[in-house]
A and B are shown apart, each in its own frame.
Chain A
Amino acid sequence: MGKGSSPFVHVFKNMDKFYFFDINQHKIVNISEESFNILKDHQEFLNHELYTLQEQGFLSSNRVKVIEHPATEMLEDILSNKIKKLNLQLTQQCNFRCDYCVYSGGYDNRNHSSKRMNWEVAKKGIDFLIDSSKDSSNINISFYGGEPLIEFELIKKSMEYAIEASDGKIVTFSMTTNGSLLNDEKIEFFSKFNIHLTISLDGPRDIHDKNRKFATNNCGTFETVYNNIKSIELKYPDFKKNIQFSMVIDPSIDLNCLNEFVADEEDFFKETAIMGSIISDHYRKEKVEVNEDFISEWQYNKFKYFLHLFEEIPDKNNSQLMRSSNALLIDFINDSSKSYYPLLEKSHHAGPCIPGQLRLFMNTEGDFFPCERVNENSKIMKIGNVVEGLNVEKVDKLLNVGKITEEECKNCFAFRGCIVCAAMADSGDEEERLSKELKEQACVNARRNFEEMLKDACTLKDLGFRSDMIKVSKNY
């Protein structure tokens, strides 16, 4: 059977059982070993089990014929009417020098510099957001750096102006900060607004200080940040819920140490989310070093997370970090009973946001990028500027990143669960092209993770997990 006419399914084994994942139905089906072999070997013959499944609508050979993002033809409309967020890079200066930070020289995309945004640029950015968001009832203005709190006066002016200029919209604010410059004056000001702070805290003192040091004296920053947050907790308890933590996990550390810290500091982390992410390899000059035990510890923590889902172990002993990394699994379980439309003739793999709509990033000079994670030096990632607006053609190219791996995508089982976007296909070079080679590397990870997620779902199902148990376990 040719690839295009064979059932569009992905077969896999988990524990001692056999399954296929039907891409059109977006469902996992448990099958016999015989059926598994028939599908694996692309045999034309269908046994009784497979024939019955086919009668029920499974095993369709339907595949996408043209890779094109559904938003392509509406791109101009969306970029003129429905932008939702603007992330302002207020300064490239920072009072920290973190080893893994994209500005600290270890990456290709940025370096710390003295560049700062002036008020005119910030104002134009806010005006641009309001002018391009008639269909968005909620907009978000975000402050980013370097360390944005170095520019507190600019933050104040921008927030006050945004509120005044956006009657008819709900405006929320957010900020990613290292937390070292937070003080009473700032919190008192922020308390008047709907603002959410993401504070970078990498773990207990030893772990945090390993990578996050003051620029002036190379000393660890843990104590300052920790004390500032403790002080907020004491003086402004209502504000604490506006804080979430971002933990950049260095795979050369002892993960158990990190988990113990989160579990022991129950009060400190109460009511706050922790977003864990492993130090990014992307755009990085040197590969990230991985501690041998890290992988087994990660798996062990995942196991504990599953036990927690079954309420076999209390909240306290469960790794909060696992929650964000398993969010896709939980979504998959939640949606598993939904019926899905078969893949449309014209479609695009999941993964890319509409560049410029959801996380528009504006650097100190007023240049636009899809988000704060992309390489600011990459020509292809620069999608416009605050004076001329967004360049629809460039956005189109990034949105339709699937076109560079068109044939692979049409036959890929991860199509609907893909997490690859243009940022992962950006080599950051001068040439205005996306790299197929880089994207293919990202695809290997994306497919592996997706298959892993399918297997986790099967394991949980085997152990008797039900979707209604998700609601029972608060804050999964």
Chain B
Amino acid sequence: MKNDVLIYPYDSSFAPILRSNNFIDKFNEIHLCSLNGSGLCGKDASIADGGSALNLVVKKDFDALLSIVDTVIFTEVDSYIDFEWSLYPKIKMAIDAHKKIINLAPLSPQIREELRINSIENEVLFEDYSNNPDSTIDEINCREGILNINTPVIVVMGLSNSTGKFTTQINIKKQLEESGYKISMIGSRSYCEFLGYHSFPNFMTERKFDDVEKIFLFNKYIKNIEKSENPDVIVICIPGGIVPYDNKIHNNFGITAFLVSQAVVPDASVLCLFHEDFTAKYLELIGNTVKYRFGFEIDAYNISNRQIDWVEMVNAKPEKVRSSTINIKLIDKTIEKVNSLTTVPIYNLLSDKGDLTEMLINKLSENSNSVVF
């Protein structure tokens, strides 16, 4: 029997999951609860990401909702959250109320342990996806060299954080599967196992390996997935951004993207961008950056329905890129304009214009015509 589930605290971070059938089909009734200051309460859940209506109203009364569900999913949020005040007591409350807990929110090791013990004592199921499982990998064998990946690989990257990579990967996976392909995906978030695919492997951020080792490890990791899962297509989503935003917001200088690009040669690539008033020169610059930095061409752009808040970036000099939601009509207009500026096709996954996955399938079949062993 399917459970009734409560998602807390709901915001734009969870919206892409809510749009995936895989998730919706798992549950009977879905209830959403936001922090009361989120600006989402009392509105349709689609307000969070600016996409089409989801027909689920976001509520703010956690206690009342808790009493009518069997399962609570605690999520990470895009917005600010006071863990001590808004999350921790609610998880405790859900454990005390004997609800099944699924946790996607980042937890410190001590809190994780405390909650785990607490759930055992209360005989509550506590599924914790916040701690990315260690990927089992053989010893690094650099002498083996880079192994060829024979399965077509699609890479999804973002110019910066919050450019809609997560929405893009979920959509690509869903649509490729609907077209009959068997997909192995490495997602950009730490709790992708919850959604049925791999999280980006931990070893890529561990200090114990140097960059060269990480390249070999990642190559081997993908090879292992190819061998064990035998997919038709491998989709790799690279966390973070590919270039620094400025001297302060460094996006890890695009190092992760560089390491992945040396480990695996993609057959198709998608770059996610913020919405803006694009010019031909700007798009050419981005195309060249990817080409000369990572060694491949961009096959498609996906523009998110967020635009950088330049005024805030200049005035407040925040720690991360701040952006605002844009309406779909404006995005459609931009797509039309950009199509005349570049030969690289451009999409927005929340609007109906164009079909990114179809384009990717065509691209992969182009490659499959060549006689490669």
A168 touches B38 (CB 8 A): yes
Partner of A167, one of B37, B48, B324, B326: B37
For B305, the closest partner residue in chain A by CB is: A77
Which of B11, B86, B279, B311 is packed against the most chain A CB atoms within 10 Å? B311
Distance, CA A473 to CA B312, complexed state (A): 25
Contacts of B40 in A (CB 8 A): 134
A74 within 8 A of B: yes
A interface footprint on B219-241 (CB within 8 Å = 1, 0 otherwise): 00000000000000000000000
Which of chain A's residues 119-173 have a Cβ closer than 8 Å to chain B?
130-135, 137-138, 164-171
Cross-chain pair count, CB within 8 angstroms: 85
Q: Which residues of B contact A130 (CB under 8 A)?
A: 36-37, 39
Q: Would B36 and A74 count as touching, CB distance under 8 A?
A: no
A344 within 8 Å of B (CB atoms): yes
Considering only residues 303-352 of chain B, those with a C-beta below 8 Å from chain A are 307, 309, 311-312, 316, 322-327, 330, 333
Considering only residues 308-341 of chain A, those with a C-beta below 8 Å from chain B are: 341
Cβ of B105 under 8 Å from chain A: no
Contacts of B36 in A (CB 8 A): 130, 164-168
In contact, A74 and B80 (Cβ under 8 angstroms): no
**Contact yes or no, B325 A165, CB < 8 A:** no
Q: Is B38's CB under 8 angstroms from A134's CB?
A: yes
A81 at interface, CB cutoff 8 A:
yes
A82 interface residue per 8 A CB criterion:
yes
A81, A137, A170 pick with most chain B CB within 10 angstroms: A137
Task: Tell me whether B277 and A344 are in contact (CB under 8 A).
Answer: yes
- State the Cβ distance, B121 to closest chain A Cβ, in Å: 28
Q: Provide the bound-state CA to CA distance between A135 and B86, in Å.
A: 19
User: How far apart sit A309 and B11, CA to CA, in the bound complex (Å)?
Assistant: 47
Instruction: Please report which residues of chain A, range 343-360, place their CB below 8 angstroms from some CB of chain B when the two chains form the complex.
Output: 344, 346, 353-354, 358
Least distance between A25 CB and chain B CB atoms (Å): 14
Please measure, in the bound complex, the distance between the C-alpha atom of A267 and the C-alpha atom of B34, giving whole angstroms.
47
A73 at the interface (CB under 8 A from B): yes
Task: Determine if A456 is an interface residue (Cβ-Cβ < 8 Å).
Answer: no
Q: Is A137's CB under 8 angstroms from B48's CB?
A: no
* In the complex, per-residue mask of B74-106: 1 if CB is within 8 Å of any chain A CB, else 0: 000101111001100000000000000000000
Interface residues of A in 82-108 (CB under 8 A from B): 82, 84
Q: For the complex, what is the distance from the CA of A305 to the CA of B280, rounded to whole Å?
A: 44
Q: Is the CB of A135 within 8 A of B323?
A: yes
Which of these, B86, B309, B311, contacts A168 with CB under 8 Å? B86
Q: Taking the complex as formed, is A50 at the interface, i.e. its CB lies under 8 A from any CB of chain B?
A: no
A137 lies within 8 A of B80 (CB): yes
- Bound Cα distance A166, B34 (Å): 11
Distance to closest chain B CB from A370 (angstroms):
14
Q: For the complex formed, measure the closest distance between the CB of B12 and the CB atoms of chain A, giving whole angstroms.
A: 8
Would you give the shortest CB distance from B95 to chain A, in whole angstroms?
21
Q: Is A78 an interface residue (CB 8 A)?
A: yes
Q: Which of B35, B39, B86, B330 is within 8 Å of A81, CB to CB?
A: B39
State the CA gap A353–B326 with chains docked (Å): 18
B9 near A: Cβ within 8 Å?
A: yes
B interface, by DSSP: helix, strand, loop or mixed? loop
Q: Mark B35-60, 1 if CB is under 8 A from A, else 0.
A: 11111100000011010000000000
Which residue of A has the minimal Cβ distance to B309? Answer: A82
Question: Which of under 10, 10 to 19, 20 to 34, or 35 or more describes the interface residues of A?
Answer: 20 to 34
Is A440 among interface residues, defined by CB-CB distance under 8 A? no
Q: For the complex, is A233 an interface residue (Cβ under 8 Å from B)?
A: no
A74 to B324, Cβ gap below 8 A?
yes
Q: Which residue of B lies closest to A83 (CB)?
A: B39
Our pick among A73, A131, A168 for the contact of B35 (Cβ within 8 Å) is A168
Q: Which residue of A lies closest to B40 (CB)?
A: A134
> Could you tell me if B324 and A78 are in contact, using CB atoms closer than 8 angstroms?
yes
Q: Pick the contact of B80 from A73, A169, A358 — CB < 8 Å? A: A169
Complex: A137 Cα to B47 Cα, angstroms = 16
CA distance A74 to B275 in the complex (A): 11
- Whether the Cβ atoms of A170 and B326 lie closer than 8 Å is no
Residues A133 and B39 in contact in the complex (CB < 8 Å), given A73-B330, A76-B327? yes
A358 close to B324 (CB less than 8 A): no
Report A-chain residues with C-beta under 8 Å of the C-beta of B312. Answer: 84
The distance in angstroms between the C-alpha atoms of A76 and B86, with both chains bound, is 30
Please, how many angstroms separate the alpha-carbon atoms of A77 and B328 in the complex? 10
Shortest Cβ distance from residue B45 to the other chain A in the assembled complex, whole angstroms: 12
CA distance A430 to B74 in the complex (A): 54
Which residues on A sit within 8 Å (CB–CB) of B277?
A: 70, 344, 346
CB distance from B224 to the nearest CB of A (A): 40
With A78-B324, A81-B324, A130-B39 known as contacts, the answer to whether A167 contacts B279 (CB < 8 A) is no
- Cα(A167)–Cα(B327), bound, Å: 26
**Known A-B contacts A137-B79, A165-B37, A169-B80; A358 and B326 likewise in contact (beta carbons under 8 Å):** no
User: Do the beta carbons of A341 and B279 come within 8 Å of each other?
Assistant: yes
B279 to chain A: which residues have CB within 8 Å?
341, 344
Q: Chain A residues with Cβ under 8 A from B307's Cβ?
A: 74
Given A137-B79, A168-B79, residue A74 in contact with residue B327 (CB < 8 A):
yes
With the chains together, A424 CA to B117 CA distance in Å? 64
Nearest chain-B residue to A164 (Cβ)? B36
- Given A82-B309, A167-B86, A134 contacting B47 (CB threshold 8 A): yes
Complex Cα gap A354–B311 (Å): 10
The answer to whether B79 and A169 have CB atoms under 8 Å apart is yes
Q: Are the CB atoms of B81 and A168 closer together than 8 Å?
A: yes
Which 7 pairs between the two chains have the least Cβ-Cβ distance? A168-B35, A134-B39, A166-B37, A167-B35, A169-B37, A168-B37, A82-B324
Please name 20 pairs of A and B residues whose Cβ atoms are closer than 8 Å in the assembled complex, sorted by A. A77-B324, A77-B327, A78-B324, A82-B309, A131-B39, A134-B47, A134-B325, A135-B324, A166-B36, A167-B82, A167-B86, A168-B34, A168-B37, A168-B80, A169-B35, A169-B79, A341-B279, A344-B277, A344-B279, A346-B277
Contacts A77-B50, A130-B37 supplied; 15 other A-B pairs, CB < 8 Å: A77-B325, A77-B327, A77-B330, A81-B39, A81-B324, A82-B309, A130-B36, A135-B325, A137-B322, A166-B36, A168-B11, A168-B37, A344-B279, A354-B311, A358-B311
